[in-house]
Every structure is written in structure tokens, then in C-alpha cells.
Amino acid sequence: MKDPDITRRDFIKFLGAASVTGLSSELANAEPVDRYAKLVNTFKCIGCRRCMSACKRENKLPPYDIPESLIRDMDGTTYTVVNFKKSSRNTEFGKFVKWQCQHCIKPACAGVCPVKAITKNKITGAVIVDETKCIGCRYCYQACPYKVPRFDFAKRVTRKCHLCYTRLPRFKPACVAACPVEAIEYGYRNLLLKKAKQEAQAVRGYVLGEHEAGGTDVLTILHDPPQEMGMIVAPKKVVNQDIDKVRITFSGVGAAAAVVGALYLYSQITKDEGDDK
Amino acid sequence: MISKIETIDDKTSCYYIGISLLLSLMFLGVYAAVMSYVGSMEMLEFHISIPWTMMISTYVFFVASSIGLCIVASLGYVFGLNRYKIISKRGTFLAVITIIFGMLNVLLHLGHPERAPIYTTFTPNFRSAMWGIGFFYNLYIPLIMLTCWLLIRADLAVISENSTGWRHKLYALASGKKWLKSYNLQRFTGVIGAGSLCFGLLALAVEGSLFGHVEAREYWYGADIPVYFIFSSIHLGIAWLIFMTIITYKFKGEEMGERLKKLMLEMGKIFIILLSVSSLFITYKVYAGSIDAMKAKTVMLYIKGALSIPFWIFEMAIGTILPIVVLLFAVQRESLNGLLTAAVMVLAGAFVMKYDFVVAGQVFPVFKKAPLMFPAFMEILLIAGIGAAFFSVYMLAERFLPLKEAN
Ligand code: SF4
Ligand code: SF4
């Protein structure tokens, strides 16, 4: 196995990190020694869509009603899709782009979930929806900059890619394991990012996920920036920051105070004789 | 003074047609709700990429109405204006049922409503506006119910005294005279009412934040949304009070007392001011949106896109401009029919406005071109059922509870 795939040494390092930070359940809150991430190289992808079938198998999701090649978007039982995308800059060539939850470093979806059904494991990178907790409000879908979490109408909960968290970090996610051309890799984020930048530089491509949404634990080497590829563009900052939420809510609280003040003034100005003091 | 309690007793053919219509709509609503449970909730959505539609907008419409009603009614029992006390009972009762039916919309929209009380209590996310809404409504709802009860309990005791048998016992129980002897609880009512007003306003501020927080939905995002939610709730409250009061008197064929009529006209004047401010706000929002690169695409949906008809006809013409004109005439000529017409127009316009706001925010960046944004048939049935249940509960309350204004 070659670097940056998970080697025995990596795993021992990970265990070291885990022993420093405590029990595995506490990993989610621990600051990582080094976080893991997934790298998708669209320059390598041949569009075989084995990752899509592997995802279905691994997660015991119902099979597609139509051929995989015709699936364009994710849904409650389709966690990943592979779409052929052409850049608006270069329409001669196209690339197969594997798309899924980007496992944001600071996930907006987790920030809005009213019942904390979404958690981020800071070491493995996985952003996971607890399906036994989800109330099915779909607020996470609204908050996600990539519109990833989808409602499963049969289970009545929101579902999405969870990075095969039960396999991590000992084994790779199912899609990574299934890819015949190693277009998807899982390993340390810093090493993958370095590698992605080098490869992108060589082909004059673009690394998606370094800065988008404040950085994501899925990195994708694209032909061109996402706006040129006709993909959803996320701002290059953490979305839904708590301080911003406080600012917005306080504008409403200010308006509420103004209404109470206006009611008081109105009652004083229009007071009749006999009105309560 | 406690008035003699009057109820709907004349059962005309119009009354029976109305009841049959309400029952049929409620049946259809129950059918849609059951089908969405045994079948798939997908039937309640016109597009799976737009998950918040009419149920959410109706919820927003109802809860904003409830807070608006609470604001107007509080002028009597919190701020001590005697002329407003006559509408306190009807106002708070309407505030109670609008919030309950509003919540029903959202409960039916949740995939697992039964989990909500458990996990919002045991694993609350204080960073989520949705959790905040639940928290403040959990305070607002019992307080507004308590306020309503405090306002009508003396009248309940009168009905109890004037009746016999089970009716006597039931009303005595409802008045709570066994536990709470005094009926002179104005100060206490004022405090409870002030609590419901504060928590209601806070809930609405957080309700606006639910949309305002979402940075990934450019049209919703921003500090102006909670402010608009708060201010627009007041004219909704006035519209509901004018509409329900006048329609009740008309339905019962009763003459409105002078004091009440005067108050209706006073509210009509405030209504004109609020609608004028609201029209300025809409103009500002459209202008600011059209020059904001992030929001411009959605604003164009309103101006000349998929939402242009609902926007120009319902929101602007029916919901804002025409009611101002009608109100100007109505106030000048002291016409209750004019007030009623304006109130109905504003309610219809506000209902469409909330729908447009909720769905328009979800179009971009998912769609390149906006889809047809008409609600799903089953969702319409469900909302119609909820609306019918709302009016039925109000009619029953009008029949059995002392909501009538003292003339
Ligand atoms: S891409 Fe969306 S669903 Fe995935 S972690 Fe980020 S915010 Fe959550
Ligand atoms: S749909 Fe589920 S996971 Fe998403 S915000 Fe609501 S409760 Fe949380």
C-alpha cells in the first residue's frame, strides 16, 4: 500500500492519537493529531460508477430503478453520484465528477440540526447523521452549501454519505476500495492536499475543498473551478458561523424590543380617562 | 361588567352549507395526512429538491398571525387601554388557535414528530434556530392559553351560574372557581400577558432567524428577515381581528356596539399606516435584492419570473395597494364592509407572500431554471383540512365560550 493510503504505521499513529485523546467515542470532540480525508481525482476517473454500486451494497440501500449512468442527483437512498461534466472554459473535454457529502471541517448541517443528530468526527473526517435521532425537519438540507442531505421518504429521516465511518480508519470507505483505477483515495488530509495540489498543478486543474465552506474533508481535483464546471459554488469561508447567527437573531430581538416600546408609546399617547395607569 | 352570553342559535340553510363544507374539507385533510403516512410523504411535495413548501409557509403564516394577535390584544390587558379590552378575549383566543394550528402544520411535515420532544429536551442544539423556536413557543403557548383563560374565566363562571346540570358543572370546572376564588386578577393577567407577549416576540424573532441564518440560501439570509417577521405580524394580527370580529357579527346577524365599531375603525387607521410601511419594505427588498448579486436571481423570479403573478397580483395588488385604498374609503365612510374587504385581501396576500418567500428561497443554487412552483394537490388538501378545522374550532368556541365583546 502506498502513501497516503492507510498503512500499518498510519494506523498505529492513529491509535496513538486515540489513546492520547481517550476513548473512541470522544474522538469526535478531540483535536486531531492529523485529520483524515478523501481525495477524488477526476483526471483518473473513468466513469465506471463502481463506487455508486459499492456504496449501495455497503449501506444496504435499495437498488436503482434506472441504470446508474442515468442517475444525476443524490437522494435519500443514493449517497453518491458520478456525473459527466464539461468545463465552460474547455468544452472539448469533459470529466467524470464523483459527488457526495463533502464532509465539511465545520459542517453547517450539524450547526442547524435542532437535536444534534449530525456529528463530525474530527479525526476520521466523517459527518454522520444519527438516523435514530433525526426528526426529519430537513433544516440540514437548507443549511448545507452543497445541498447534500436528502430525505428518505421510506424511513422518514435525512440520509447522506457517512464516509463508511464504521470501517474507518482501519479500512477504507467502500467507494475507495471499489475504485479500479485508484481515482479515490483516503488518507491524511495534509498529505492528500499536498498530493492534490501537485497533481492539479501538473494538469492545470483546481483543488476543490481546500478553502470551500471553510475547508472540507473531501478534496476533488477538477478540470476547472466549480463555477466553470456547472457545479454548486460554496463560499470560501465557514458558512453559518455562530457569531453571524447571533448578529441576525439580535436584529429580531431589537425589533421585538422596538415593538414593545411602540406599544407603550401608543398606549401613553392615546390614553383615555379611565384607562389603567 | 360581565355580558350576557350569546351564541349562534339560528340555524339557517347557509349555516348547514357552511358546516358541510368545513366537514368535507376536514375529511379531505385527514385523508391527505393519512395517505402521507401510509404512503409516502413525497406526495406532499411538488419537487424533492424543494422540501419546505406550503405546510411550512402556512405554519409561518399562522404563528406570525398568533403573535400579531397577541400584540394587538395586549394593548388592553398589558398596556391598560380600556377600549382594547373589549377585543382581548377574542384576540387571545384567536392567538391560541392560530399557534396550535400553525404547529400542526409543522408536526405533520416532520418525518418523526414523536422524536422532537425527546431529543430537543435531551440533546438540544443551542446553535440551532429551530431549537430556539421550539423553546420559546413552549413558553409562549402555555402563557397565551393561561392569559386567554384568565380573561374569560369570569364569564365562564357566569354561564355556570346561569345553567344547570352537567353544563353548570362543566363551566364551573372550566372557570376554575374551586381553586381560584378571586376574579379580580387584572394585575396577574397583565403579568402573564406581558410574559406571553415577550416570549411570543422572541419566538418570532428566532422564527425569522431560522431563515435569516441560512447562509447557503442567499435569498433568506440576512438580518432583515427577523425584523420583517416581527413588523409584518402586527398587520396580520389586526387583519385577523377585523376579519373574525366583523364576520362573526355578520354571521350571527348582530349589530356591532358603538365602542367596538369605533375600535375597529381605529384599528383600520393603524392598518393603513402599517400597510404603507410594509409596501415601502417590499419596495426596498425588491430594490436591494435586485442590486445584490447574490439575491438578484431570486428577485427576478418575483419581478418577471415564475413568481411574477403571485407577486404582482397577490402580494402587491391584493395584499398591499388595494387594501390601502379600500381602507382609506372605509375609515372615511365608517364602513365595516370596507374594513372586512381590506382584511380579507391582506390575509390572502400575506398567505401567498409567505408561500413565495419560502419556496423562492430554495430555487437557487439547485435549479438552473425555476420549476413550476405550484403546491402539490395532496398538500393543498391537507392545508384546506387544517384551515377548515381552524374555522370549525373557532365556530365551536364562539358557540360555547364567552368570546363576545361587552358593548
Ligand atoms: S457538504 Fe453539506 S451535508 Fe456534507 S458536511 Fe458539509 S454541510 Fe454537511
Ligand atoms: S433533518 Fe434530521 S439531521 Fe437534518 S436537521 Fe433535521 S433532525 Fe437534524
pLDDT (0 to 100) of residue B342 = 98
C-alpha cell at A229: 464546471
pLDDT confidence tier of residue A276, bands split at 50, 70 and 90 = low
Q: What is the pLDDT of residue A227?
A: 93
Q: Is residue B320 part of a domain?
A: no
Per-residue pLDDT tens over the stretch A120-159? 999 999 999 999 999 999 999 999 999 999 999 999 999 9
Cβ atoms of A173 and A163 closer than 8 Å:
yes
- Cβ–ligand 1 contact at A129 (below 6 Å): no
Given a cut of 50, whether residue A15 has pLDDT beyond it is: no
**CATH, range A36-248:** 3.30.70.20
**Number of structural domains chain B divides into:** 1
User: What is the nearest CA distance from B27 to chain A, expressed in angstroms?
Assistant: 24
3 state DSSP class of A176: helix
Residue A240: list chain B partners with CB under 8 A. 213-216
Report the CATH number at residue B28: 1.20.1630
The pTM of this model reads 0.92
CA-CA distance, B170 to B119, in Å (whole number)? 37
- In this prediction, residue B10 carries a pLDDT of 54
φ, ψ of residue A151 to 5 degrees: the values are -85, 130
Domain membership of residue B364 (yes or no) is no
Within 8 A of B217 by CB-CB distance, chain A residues are 142
Q: What is the pLDDT along chain B (407 residues), one digit of tens a residue?
A: 344 444 445 567 777 888 899 999 999 999 999 999 999 999 999 999 999 999 999 999 999 999 999 999 999 999 999 999 999 999 999 999 999 999 999 999 999 999 999 999 999 999 999 999 999 999 999 999 999 999 999 999 999 999 999 999 999 999 998 888 787 788 999 999 999 999 999 999 999 999 999 999 999 999 999 999 999 999 999 999 999 999 999 988 899 999 999 999 999 999 999 999 999 989 988 998 888 888 899 999 999 999 999 999 999 999 999 999 999 999 999 999 999 999 999 999 999 999 999 999 999 999 988 999 999 999 999 999 999 999 999 999 999 999 988 76
Tell me whether residue B176 is in a domain: yes
Alpha carbons B205 and B214: distance in angstroms, whole number: 15
Tracing cell 418567500 back to the chain, one arrives at B357
For residue B406, is it within any domain? Answer: no
Residue of B nearest to A238 (CA): B215
Rounded CA gap, B298 and B220, in Å?
10
Cα(A133) to centroid(ligand 2), Å: 8
Q: Following DSSP, what letter does each residue of A187-204 receive, concatenated?
A: EEHHHHHHHHHHHHHHHT
In a domain, B350, yes or no: no
Q: Please report where in the chains the cell 426528526 appears, as a residue.
A: A135
Contact A108, A218 (CB under 8 A): no
Domain boundaries, chain A: 36-248
Whether B130 sits inside 8 A of A114 (CB atoms) is yes
Q: Which domain holds residue B42?
A: 18-262+375-400
A72: helix, strand or coil: coil
Which atom, in ligand 1's list, is nearest to the CA of A160?
Answer: 3
Q: What per-residue confidence (pLDDT) applies to B6?
A: 46
Query: How high is the pLDDT of residue A169?
Result: 81
Cell 339560528 sits on residue:
B10
Residue A78 has pLDDT above 50, yes or no: yes
Among A97, A182, A100, CA closest to A147: A100
